Structure 1
């Protein structure tokens, strides 16, 4: 068990969100689920809380009712090693009504924010060459979905 893991509050569609995330992430599984019992605050038999694992990261989802919507103050980052992975997760997480934001960020149909990010991006933005980092940042700021080839081209430009 992880010492620290995300806990996400949904109004009433945590089970739908859980099934969606399990379908997008190939390396995923259900860890445990609990459904409302008689006398619980929600409808009997409806998912109360579930813990799932997506690519090794445990996440707990709860149907808590209205009043605490997800915001962009919290996002989950998907680290991608190739443009194919960026494309796969970008398209998968947008499926069914998600919304593109900017700079590799998107909001899925449940209101959860994601960053679909190439693993090489921090390397391109860091290091001693400030001009290179600036070119990469300027290129990224013009993108919605991140393009690894264009980021590398910006890094290599003189």
Structure 2
């Protein structure tokens, strides 16, 4: 086995999501992008498959041309340990815009500053002040 990589499947929002994550999470970047060509199922020129590094975690991002009866669930989430309260606040604020809190930013005993939310794309995030 070479490696295990998280795989996020979107329906038309892959490029918007990966750009947003790279702008929101420090030390993140797009590693490579494959775009749909003519006659490949997805709209020509849109992201088909990409690899991004989200603060060092390699994640594959896929744009499905097929509608599915399912989406993301909070039972799988991306957990982010922040170094400072300012960093945590900035990330939570960005991810919460048009998203939904599962656990609002607060002191929960196990963490002095923690939030769990689904972003506007439905991806679940747990944000913690380490």
Interval containing the TM-score (normalised by the shorter chain) = 0.7 to 0.9
Displacement of 1:11 in angstroms is 1.0
SS in 2 for 1:89: helix
Displacement of 1:44 in angstroms is 1.4
Larger radius of gyration: 1
Corresponding residue number in structure 2 for 1:18? 18
Structure 1: 4+ residue segments shifted above 6 A: none
SS in 2 for 1:101: strand
Structure 2 residues not aligned, in runs of 5+: 104-113
SS in 2 for 1:21: helix
Corresponding residue number in structure 2 for 1:133? none
Corresponding residue number in structure 2 for 1:110? 121
Write out aligned runs for 1:7-156 (5 A).
Answer: 7-64=7-64, 65-67=66-68, 68-95=70-97, 97-102=98-103, 104-119=115-130
| Matched length | 117
Higher helix proportion (structure 1 or 2): 1
SS in 2 for 1:76: strand
The one of the two structures with greater contact order (alpha-carbon pairs below 8 A, sep at least 6) is 2
Q: Distance in 1 between matches of 2:8 and 2:47?
A: 13
Displacement of 1:52 in angstroms is 0.6
Structure 1 residues not aligned, in runs of 5+: 120-158
CA RMSD in angstroms comes to 1.6
Q: Distance in 1 between matches of 2:43 and 2:86?
A: 42
Q: Distance in 2 between matches of 1:83 and 1:111?
A: 24
